[in-house]
Structure 1
């Protein structure tokens, strides 16, 4: 029953209202829209009226639809229910129609749109005076046409909203206690809020219109836009600004305005921060607010705390609503009351004041008036920076593009920044084709870095130290055009100091350089193993005094000259004595004294030492390990780590987790597993250090650098790397323990530290350097290995029994039972059957890298020999040295290890020093004796053949 009554009331209301809207449209709106404005202001007003007309018709259509639906229900005599009340279950739709209408209506009021329209159509109204007067009399007694239009276009609609609220309120009262009552009450409350919203919108519009009338034309033209509303005026609520001589402070819904005479400063509210706890100490009688904007900060002072509180509240609410992109509903009601705007924001702003950012547009995150967080900065000249900001400056990872003048190319800097300048690790791709990967400081290349030009035209690569953007210190230069490599010292982009040059043809020399020019005497090593000590030119021509030692041991000492057309000439002494041959001269090693191993790659070590000494702070981690995984989506495409791409299985490594794990893995077995895992990770500090050192090692000793005269330099470096790794591990562990308030247990002297480096670190890192290092060993021992291989080939022709007899192995030790004969086969012709298990075991020597594993294989080989002898003797038998050497010689000859000399010397140079004098040392000495004996036999054989010839 009560639903039917409410529906009948609503039907009548909608019918009356629809008729009213039709008359308003015919008598007022249509004539207004037929105006033909002659100036820009009139055209703008007409656009507003047309938009108002659109919203008016949307409102009218909704009313008609509601009226038709209700009328159909009554005409069909259907039972009515709450679902038939559109204003109840379509409340959001009604709000979405009424709110835009009144907002647009208020816009017309602000810019005096009705005044202009009435003026344009004054002649029309004169001819229709009677009809218009009768129509307007129903709504207002005003004789002023603009005021009359203002009233006609909002009063009936406001009253209709009031009628909706009245109907729903009455309905709520008669329903009684039921589930539907809460819904009806809530809907009635929404229409009540709409009434309040309409009232506030119109009040704001009238207040704003009054302001524009009071200001001069210049200020009005500058500030007046239809959508802008005045929220507070310092003339009504006195407050004063400290920014110059400010006459007036105006708070609008989108900007804060300071007026100084005819000058205006406006601040977008989205980038206004209100600080009620100013750090300044004002006079006791003043109550201040600090206003922070991107380029200026100033104070607003009031004489009374209440005035200051009102301004503070209104400012915060206006800023919050501006950030939300919409006004509250109602405007000063319950929607956002009491809440303050966030201090962290996202917005776009173009800097105007004189600074490094002048005319640059920043879009991104802000904090208290400064870029802070992720953002993009674009300059008008084409420069742009995408990345992290802190307190208004580039800070953290960022990508900066700098256009080249008069070229359609860019320099691209992917780098870490600190307080607006490049600092830490970065990758720079220059527009000229060069790429730099390394460290920066104060926007300059500083510390370790790699500069490469991979293009076909004059390609090169520099790996080494930088200072003030120039090559300075120890470094390696690859000139791929000339096919040579320079290893040595640099000074301000020039080769300066001691240096080694290695050529593609195998020639290498060591000289002193002064600003890229060779000075003084040097040593020149030719590919045929001749050695020249003295002075020589850039094209490797001997000049002046010198000594040439030929590969056969002959020497020529005197004065050399090279006259045009006459070739090389010399005056000196040629010594052909056979006792002059000296293998040590043929295997001269370079660079050991000139480049102390601990100073070669100091630029890499410095980054890690700085990180440890600073307490392993997380903010420093990225600057030396490369780029962190958790960058923004845009930057992830450019993500690259120091000297390597991130492995797919790598996950983000936090330094606190690294330190926590270090504490948990301190016993030897657990630590070995932990270090192995750390070295494999490109995100772990130790793994990053290993990858950096691996790259420098390859840059020095691979390719052209694979020269036997650099072996000792390379071997020395690998040993030093192990020591450095152990020192850095101890440094990280100390930091981890200090953070937990625990002391580092035990101290290490130099000897103990070296032993730990050999035992714990060297076996784990050696695989990274092994290919280049073993190649140097092979080249260094190439002649001995060739002689040894010839001997092995000769011995391989012997059947087993003949070889055992030739090597003087005692017959009671021969494993004759292993010589199983096949049809028509004689025992004396069988090959590769005796001591087979020992032979197969020794062959595994070439499958391992770790010297300790190689020694274990050697020990296992000895045990297999002894096991075979025990089986033959049918009792335990310990081999004396006289028996072991012939048997080991047999096994070595059958194993046919091609580069046995290189293997032996690598083991000897890199094995744990504590093994000296022990069982491993004894077996290695025995293997060396076999190797040397085979060579000696071949030398005697060659001399005999030579004498016969």
Structure 2
């Protein structure tokens, strides 16, 4: 038994004995004190009080001993319990107990069932104390054996320490001045010398090996600290953060000694203290851990040359959390794997001519930036987007916050340059370029929106306009032809006016004479219904589905890689950074369920096609859209509102007209069959007429449809539309008192009624957004059918308003 085991045994014994005394006090002494204070026989009661005082002293001393032992202090005080025990057991008071037989029987039921009173008292008041004293005697006997063994260990330990001091002193005298000056440290001790126990290194650069308590020295080679040194048992393989070599010995016994001493030295260096008693008396013991935490300065040629790394290591390589600091001021804090940056990390890079830093907060892969990241440059520019091989690659946003030339670029990057589709906002000029880029230049088809509201499409070559283009003017006129940078018409062109007139010919702009035209004016294309065909620029040159491939490509890369969990954060980084609450949202949870489905597909645990023939790419579309759409939905819906502004205005005017009708009149006007009218819902109050009641029929369906504007997800909008249909059908079934399936002839007028009462202001924008972003798998199904029905109602309300305008126009003409 060692000293630690003896202390633990004593602690356990004191704890149990103290608990036993507490039970005796609660079951015996306290009840007897309460019962005996009211009875005669004061002399006998005094003897009981004396016994109680001795018992309380014994209990208090036991508690104090337990506290001392628990604090690992000297335990010698605990053995004075013998004196207390003698005083306690020497009191002869057996006669005094006879006056309290009734009380004793109540509290000693467990002890007196089959034994006499005296045996019960002995068992309760004497035997536990005697057993505890016997346990003390046993512990003392074992501790005596331990002390003898510790004495032998201590003598051997002191001898070893003195020998090491002598060997070290001799070494300093034998080494030359150069090595002594480099190696001599007062607290350093020599553990082994290859001249005493011959061994050689595979580096062939040393003829002497010295093992100190903190470093392993190969003469003529730099000295690796033992904290960073890994030693493999088989073959005496030595692993350092920058190189690996082998130690070899001809004599197996010498090899075993070196192996034992290396293991012991490394472990002691990591623990920060020497082994006592001696570790591995026969060579056995635990080898040093392969995972460690320490600081190391790299010396050899590598990306970390002269850099200091502090953090976690595994088999001699930075692995886990750590920090690298270079002499030039660079810092990298983050995750490492097998010696390279891998995972999330933050890197600070000083700018040469300024007292500022570029800060990269990015995901890293095998030492290079890869995946989503944020770079805050020292020149007030910020990039949020994707990287690959340390350069901007894929989708990203670059914004300049400086007052000199503020701008924002949102789009595709390739090899750290703007390449592909992107949007450039010049905040000084209030101008925006939407189109394709090549090597940081506007190149290819592009659209420019000026601050004055003029919009034009041209072909660009290295930022210069070439060829003809299309120009949209503020009054909705469209010019197709050549024009200058200041938007002056020159050469052949065609000007289509908002009223349908077309002017086609040659345009010139002479100084002092203004714009002149020689051509033909065609007035036969006037559109009396005021519906003007819109010109949407860039739709043919860069279709919507090809504009933002950078975001979708990141998701596909995540899917094709097998949906690895460590790469998920890199994919979702852009979207989550834009909307921090997205992780808690239903959309994010839905995305995780979809990712799980796709991951199972990639691992072969689920067919690549679903039952309905859905492919993984289609599934990817349904998963990624709910994740990223909330980030830019307001701006996107604003574009839909602007594009469908005229149709929505015409629709809203029709809604205003229909809102003037009471419920019965509107149902009659829309040709809803009378047996489907929910007249039971028209409850009357005093002085009311049923024919004047408004906004009561199909109220549940109306309120359901109004929820269309409360969500951004096209899938949820379609669910709301389906719920509206179900509410209409439920109301009709209640009216006819049977399950009623609405045919199209009945559905359209009823849906028209609900749409007119819901009064959704931008219904056209909502319908087109749902149609454009709808999951392809829903095409041709119930959702497609209901959306088509809603479109028919929307268009019918517009036509009603147009017919009303035409009738008014004819009446005024006549």
Query: How does the TM-score come out when normalised to structure 1?
Result: 0.62
Alpha-carbon distance in 1 for matches of 2:545, 2:176: 78
- Assess if the C-alpha contact under 8 Å between 1:837 and 1:864 holds in 2: no
Deviation of 1:764 after TM superposition, in Å, equals: 9.8
Query: What is the correspondence of 1:927-942 to structure 2 with a 5 Å cutoff?
Result: 928-942=795-809
Aligned to 1:267: 224
Q: Deviations over 1:185-235 (max 9, x none)?
A: 333433443222222221221222222222333333332222122211222
Alpha-carbon distance in 2 for matches of 1:245, 1:756: 61
Aligned to 1:600: 547
Deviation of 1:255 after TM superposition, in Å, equals: 1.7
The question of 1:231 aligning with 2:231 is answered no
Q: Deviations over 1:647-686 (max 9, x none)?
A: 4975xxxxxxxxxxxxxxxxxxxxxxxxx95x32498496
Aligned to 2:15: none
Query: What is the correspondence of 1:275-674 to structure 2 with a 5 Å cutoff?
Result: 275-278=232-235, 289-330=236-277, 338-503=285-450, 505-577=452-524, 579=526, 586-626=533-573, 642-644=576-578, 646-647=580-581
Alpha-carbon distance in 1 for matches of 2:425, 2:148: 83
Query: What is the correspondence of 1:768-917 to structure 2 with a 5 Å cutoff?
Result: 771-772=634-635, 774-793=637-656, 822=686, 832-833=692-693, 836-838=696-698, 841-842=701-702, 844-848=704-708, 850-851=717-718, 853-854=720-721, 856-857=723-724, 860-861=727-728, 896-902=759-765, 912-915=779-782
Query: SS of the counterpart of 1:481?
Result: coil
Identify if the C-alpha distance between structure 1 residues 834 and 614 changes in structure 2 by more than 3 Å, giving closer, same or farther: closer
Alpha-carbon distance in 1 for matches of 2:519, 2:380: 51
Alpha-carbon distance in 2 for matches of 1:447, 1:235: 61
Decide which moves more: 769-778 or 433-442.
769-778
Alpha-carbon distance in 2 for matches of 1:757, 1:425: 19
Deviation of 1:430 after TM superposition, in Å, equals: 1.0
Decide which moves more: 587-596 or 498-507.
498-507
- Assess if the C-alpha contact under 8 Å between 1:838 and 1:862 holds in 2: no
Alpha-carbon distance in 2 for matches of 1:794, 1:310: 102
Aligned to 1:660: none
- Assess if the C-alpha contact under 8 Å between 2:706 and 2:758 holds in 1: no
Aligned to 1:23: none
Q: Deviations over 1:468-500 (max 9, x none)?
A: 111111222233333333322111111211222
Deviation of 1:249 after TM superposition, in Å, equals: 1.7
Deviation of 1:581 after TM superposition, in Å, equals: 6.6
Aligned to 2:49: none
- Assess if the C-alpha contact under 8 Å between 1:500 and 1:509 holds in 2: yes
Alpha-carbon distance in 2 for matches of 1:731, 1:215: 68
Aligned to 2:142: 182
Identify if the C-alpha distance between structure 1 residues 804 and 508 changes in structure 2 by more than 3 Å, giving closer, same or farther: same
Alpha-carbon distance in 2 for matches of 1:189, 1:585: 105
Alpha-carbon distance in 1 for matches of 2:740, 2:72: 105
- Assess if the C-alpha contact under 8 Å between 1:489 and 1:497 holds in 2: yes
Deviation of 1:378 after TM superposition, in Å, equals: 0.6
Deviation of 1:380 after TM superposition, in Å, equals: 1.0
Deviation of 1:642 after TM superposition, in Å, equals: 4.7
Alpha-carbon distance in 1 for matches of 2:570, 2:621: 30
Query: What is the correspondence of 1:731-750 to structure 2 with a 5 Å cutoff?
Result: 731-736=598-603, 738=604, 740=605, 743-744=607-608
Deviation of 1:179 after TM superposition, in Å, equals: 3.0
Identify if the C-alpha distance between structure 1 residues 770 and 488 changes in structure 2 by more than 3 Å, giving closer, same or farther: same
- Assess if the C-alpha contact under 8 Å between 1:425 and 1:438 holds in 2: yes
Two-structure CA RMSD over aligned residues (Å): 4.5
Identify if the C-alpha distance between structure 1 residues 518 and 200 changes in structure 2 by more than 3 Å, giving closer, same or farther: same
Deviation of 1:379 after TM superposition, in Å, equals: 0.8
- Assess if the C-alpha contact under 8 Å between 1:791 and 1:937 holds in 2: no
The question of 1:208 aligning with 2:164 is answered no
Q: Which runs of 5+ in 1 are unaligned?
A: 1-82, 95-174, 279-288, 627-639, 651-675, 687-727
Identify if the C-alpha distance between structure 1 residues 848 and 197 changes in structure 2 by more than 3 Å, giving closer, same or farther: same
Query: SS of the counterpart of 1:836?
Result: coil
Alpha-carbon distance in 2 for matches of 1:579, 1:526: 18
Q: Deviations over 1:543-566 (max 9, x none)?
A: 222111111112222222334444
Within the candidate set 582, 585, 588, 1:680 is matched to 588
Identify if the C-alpha distance between structure 1 residues 207 and 487 changes in structure 2 by more than 3 Å, giving closer, same or farther: same
Decide which moves more: 291-300 or 530-539.
291-300
Deviation of 1:523 after TM superposition, in Å, equals: 1.6
- Assess if the C-alpha contact under 8 Å between 1:530 and 1:548 holds in 2: yes
- Assess if the C-alpha contact under 8 Å between 1:529 and 1:586 holds in 2: no
Alpha-carbon distance in 2 for matches of 1:888, 1:592: 33
Deviation of 1:327 after TM superposition, in Å, equals: 1.4
Query: What is the correspondence of 1:69-218 to structure 2 with a 5 Å cutoff?
Result: 178-218=138-178
Query: SS of the counterpart of 1:266?
Result: coil
Identify if the C-alpha distance between structure 1 residues 545 and 852 changes in structure 2 by more than 3 Å, giving closer, same or farther: farther
Alpha-carbon distance in 1 for matches of 2:450, 2:282: 79
Alpha-carbon distance in 2 for matches of 1:242, 1:779: 77
Deviation of 1:834 after TM superposition, in Å, equals: 5.5
Identify if the C-alpha distance between structure 1 residues 433 and 642 changes in structure 2 by more than 3 Å, giving closer, same or farther: farther
Identify if the C-alpha distance between structure 1 residues 765 and 616 changes in structure 2 by more than 3 Å, giving closer, same or farther: closer
Decide which moves more: 317-326 or 520-529.
520-529
Within the candidate set 245, 250, 258, 2:218 is matched to 258
- Assess if the C-alpha contact under 8 Å between 2:420 and 2:436 holds in 1: yes
Query: SS of the counterpart of 2:781?
Result: helix
Alpha-carbon distance in 2 for matches of 1:89, 1:345: 31
Alpha-carbon distance in 2 for matches of 1:612, 1:897: 39
Alpha-carbon distance in 1 for matches of 2:674, 2:72: 112
Q: Deviations over 1:570-602 (max 9, x none)?
A: 222223336467977541223332123443233
Query: SS of the counterpart of 1:524?
Result: strand
Alpha-carbon distance in 1 for matches of 2:739, 2:320: 77
Identify if the C-alpha distance between structure 1 residues 858 and 484 changes in structure 2 by more than 3 Å, giving closer, same or farther: farther
Query: SS of the counterpart of 1:913?
Result: coil
Deviation of 1:767 after TM superposition, in Å, equals: 7.2
Alpha-carbon distance in 1 for matches of 2:206, 2:744: 105
Alpha-carbon distance in 1 for matches of 2:383, 2:376: 7
